[in-house]
Amino acid sequence: MDDLGKVLRLRGAIRGAIGATEVAQATLGGDTLARRYASLRAEAPNVIPTEDQEELIRLLPLTLSGYGSGPRDLPGQFNAARIFLGSLGDWLGGYVERAQIAAQIEANAEAYAQARLKEERGVGFRASIPAAPSNAASSFTVQPDA
C-alpha cells in the first residue's frame, strides 16, 4: 500500500460521518447520510490498490438506492447508510491491519537475522592495553566481547 495515510483519513471521515448523525434524527439525517456514504464510497477506489477494486465493487454498492422501502423511507436509508459506512470503514481497516502485520513481520525478521548473525560469529575477543604509569611494565589483556 503506497499511502496508508489516505486510507486512515478516509476511514476517519467515515467514522466522523457515522458519529455526526444521531440515531434519534434518522428521519432528518437519512438522505444526508446516504449521500455522504455515496461520496465516501466513491473516494475509496482512489486509496486502495487496483487489484482490490473488484472486491470493493462486489462488497459495497456505489449508492444506497434500493435500500429502504422507498425514497421517503429516510429511517431506512439512515440505517442502510450507517451499516454500509461501518462496513466500508471496517473494510478499509483491513489495510491498516495488513500494514501493521507487515511491519511486525519485517521487525521480527530483522531481529532474527541479527540474532543469527551474532550466533554465527561466535564469541569474539578484543585486546585492550590499559594505560600504565611510565615506570610500570607493559601489560596486555584479552577480554570477551560484550
Predicted local distance difference test score (pLDDT) of residue 120:
80
**Spatial contact of 56 and 7, defined as CB atoms under 8 Å apart:** no
Identity at 84, one-letter amino acid code:
F
CA distances from 126 to 63, 118, 137 (A): 70, 15, 21
Predicted local distance difference test score (pLDDT) of residue 15:
85
Measured from the Cβ of residue 108, the count of other Cβ atoms closer than 10 Å reads 10
Predicted local distance difference test score (pLDDT) of residue 106:
93
Residues 6+ positions from 124 with CB-CB distance below 8 Å:
144, 145
Q: What is the pTM of this model?
A: 0.64
**Helix/strand/coil (H/E/C) assignment for every residue in 15-62:** HHHHHHCCHHHHHHHHHHHHHHHHHHHHHHHHCCCHHHHHHHHHHCCC
* 10-residue stretch averages of pLDDT, the chain, 146 residues long: 80 82 71 87 91 90 76 77 89 87 92 87 62 58 57
Pairs from 112-117 (Cβ < 8 Å, separation ≥ 24): none
Predicted local distance difference test score (pLDDT) of residue 39:
92
